[in-house]
């Protein structure tokens, strides 16, 4: 008895071509977004410079609205517990030490607190409130 097998490679080639087109489109979109981000970062840097000049001119100390000098932080002005909630939503498998590394990389201002214990207590607070995504 002869079994008839079908060759569906043509169909697979079509699917692969479509996925390649989607990838190319997403890469083009990413390039556009990256360019917009560079422009926004440049504008923000200029505004920070003007802010600093004006503060010095008026003899006022500069308020800290961002992370490390010249490095924007997406967690600016947030409480630690809220920043951790965002990190946990982005990566459900993340642990405390990994979250700490993300916060440090982003330039989170721990306001003189010891970072690891601060992350631990905020992590526990999230668990108690049920905010942590499982």
Domain residues for the domain of 56 are 9-63
Q: How many domains does the chain contain in total? A: 2
- Mean pLDDT calculated for residue range 84-89: 90
Six token digits for residue 119: 């992350």
CA–CA separation, 96 vs 124, rounded Å? 10
My answer on whether 58 and 14 are in the same domain is yes
Contact 37, 74 (CB under 8 A): no
Assess if residue 3 is contained within a domain.
no
Write the DSSP assignment of 23-60 as a string of letters. HHHHHHHHHHHHHHHHHHHHHHHHHHHHHHHHHHHHTP
What is the percent of the chain with per-residue pLDDT over 70, rounded to a whole number? Answer: 83
Is residue 71 in a domain?
no
Task: Note the pTM of the prediction, 2 decimals.
Answer: 0.46
Dihedral sign of CA atoms 87, 89, 91, 95 in order: positive
Rounded CA-CA distance 72/106 in Å is 8
Task: Among 18, 34, 63, give the residue marking a domain's end.
Answer: 63
24-28, 66-70, 128-132, range with the lowest pLDDT: 66-70
pLDDT at 123 over 90: yes
């Amino acid at each position: 008895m002869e079994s008839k097998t079908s060759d569906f490679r043509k169909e697979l080639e079509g699917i692969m071509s479509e996925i390649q087109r989607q990838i190319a489109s997403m890469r083009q979109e990413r390039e556009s977004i990256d360019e917009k981000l560079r422009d926004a970062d440049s504008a923000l840097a200029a505004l920070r410079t003007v802010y600093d000049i004006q503060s010095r001119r008026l003899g006022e100390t500069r308020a800290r609205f961002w992370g490390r000098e010249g490095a924007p932080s997406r967690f600016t002005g947030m409480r630690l517990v809220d920043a951790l909630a965002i990190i946990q939503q982005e990566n459900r498998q993340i642990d405390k030490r990994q979250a700490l590394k993300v916060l440090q990389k982003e330039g989170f201002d721990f306001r003189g607190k010891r970072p690891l214990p601060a992350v631990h207590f905020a992590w526990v607070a999230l668990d108690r409130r049920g905010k942590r995504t499982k």
